[in-house]
């Protein structure tokens, strides 16, 4: 009776232990270093390699982090590339790319970052043929799809950070409003990690109690406004933070570490990562975020979440937005 809950990923394999664990982070900007710091203090890898076109910065970051190693569980930290120190890595995390400017949408970054990825992925395919690839650079859904097409890796092994951070922001705001631990909030942001994302209010709940007990249209205008205000804070969070401090870093670093731990420790955790969608909700050949079970082989299966008509329409719209952008790319 439980078969209807999930849609298996045909590319997923049976998990096997990974020891020792080697990871590569490509890109040591604000996001890359937030990921590196969070990954190190949570003892995810036995060996971690930092790669960036700016080799002096890599050297400085490695020195700085190494000086803190007496306070941490041992990790062999190096500067290098996938072609030397990073060969046969278990995971390659890509944060390299042009920075998002104030007022610039994630999708406006496409052209610049696709060209950067073309220069990175050749060596990744050659020297890390069995790695799970985790894409963090924005626009993450487009670049996850670009990575899939360029590498020709199985879709289970090409993941984007997707709406993991948006979902965390969503739960955090709801938890703060209700005065409860945000880990007790079960709610998702789905679709594009960007302007066409949407909240799944129909299944959002706390301790089994739905936040929206009936249909959306049955809510009063004030109730709709209150819920929309929460979602708008989620959707605009990156823009607000970039306006205030120039970039986002800490929360995505923690989110990426959550994904890394779910993979390396085979948690079979449900996370809203961005993966290739093939047939679910009538969507094909696009990468976007749905609740997905993650283990040591990557994206294992997608949750067949029941959506109302509005949410289905929003998901299809998000998929079309991404497809329209991808059609404009020169691959």
- Residues carrying an active site annotation: 193
d(CA 90, CA 82): 11
Please, what's the b/e burial string for 252-272 (b: 16 or more CB within 10 A of its CB; e: otherwise)?
A: bbbbbbbbbbbbbebbebbbb
**Are 327 and 146 spatial neighbours (Cβ–Cβ below 8 Å)?**
no
CA atoms within 13 A on the CB side of 20: 10
Q: Two tokens at 163?
A: 């709406």
- Read off the DSSP letter of residue 146: H
d(CA 1, CA 277): 24
Nearest Cα neighbor of 160 from 250, 51, 277 is: 277
Close Cβ partners of 302 (under 8 Å, ≥ 6 residues apart):
6, 7, 9, 275, 277, 280, 290, 291, 292, 293
Angle 164-178/250-264 helices, nearest 10 degrees?
A: 110
Collapsing DSSP states into helix, strand and coil, what is residue 165?
Answer: helix
């Amino acid at each position: 009776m439980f078969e209807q809950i999930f849609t298996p990923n045909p590319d997923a394999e049976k998990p096997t232990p990974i020891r020792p664990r080697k990871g590569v982070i490509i890109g040591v900007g604000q996001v890359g270093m937030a990921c590196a710091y969070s990954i190190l203090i949570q003892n995810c890898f036995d060996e971690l390699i930092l790669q960036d076109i700016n080799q002096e910065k890599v050297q400085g970051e490695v020195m700085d982090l190494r000086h803190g190693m007496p306070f941490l569980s041992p990790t062999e930290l190096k500067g290098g590339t996938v072609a030397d120190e990073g060969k046969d890595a278990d995971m390659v995390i890509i944060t390299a790319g042009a920075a998002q400017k104030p007022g610039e949408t994630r999708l406006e970054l496409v052209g610049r970052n696709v060209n950067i990825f073309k220069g990175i992925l050749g060596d990744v395919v050659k020297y890390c043929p069995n790695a799970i690839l985790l894409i963090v650079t924005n626009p993450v859904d487009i670049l996850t799809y670009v990575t899939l097409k360029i590498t020709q890796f199985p879709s289970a092994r090409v993941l984007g950070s997707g709406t993991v951070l948006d979902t965390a922001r969503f739960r955090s705001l709801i938890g703060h409003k209700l005065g409860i631990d945000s880990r007790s909030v079960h709610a998702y942001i789905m679709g594009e990690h960007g302007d066409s994302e949407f909240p799944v209010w129909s299944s959002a709940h706390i301790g089994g109690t739905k936040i929206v007990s009936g249909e959306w249209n049955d809510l009063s205008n004030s109730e709709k406004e209150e819920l929309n205000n929460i979602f708008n804070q989620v959707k605009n969070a990156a823009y607000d933070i970039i306006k205030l401090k120039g970039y986002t870093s800490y929360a995505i670093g923690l989110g990426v570490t959550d994904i890394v731990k779910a993979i390396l420790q085979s948690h079979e955790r449900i996370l809203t990562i961005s993966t290739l969608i093939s047939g679910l909700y009538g969507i094909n050949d696009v990468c976007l975020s749905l609740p997905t079970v993650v283990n040591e082989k990557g994206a294992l299966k997608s949750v067949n979440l029941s959506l109302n008509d509005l949410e289905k329409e929003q998901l299809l719209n998000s998929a079309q937005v991404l497809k329209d952008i991808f059609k404009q790319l020169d691959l």
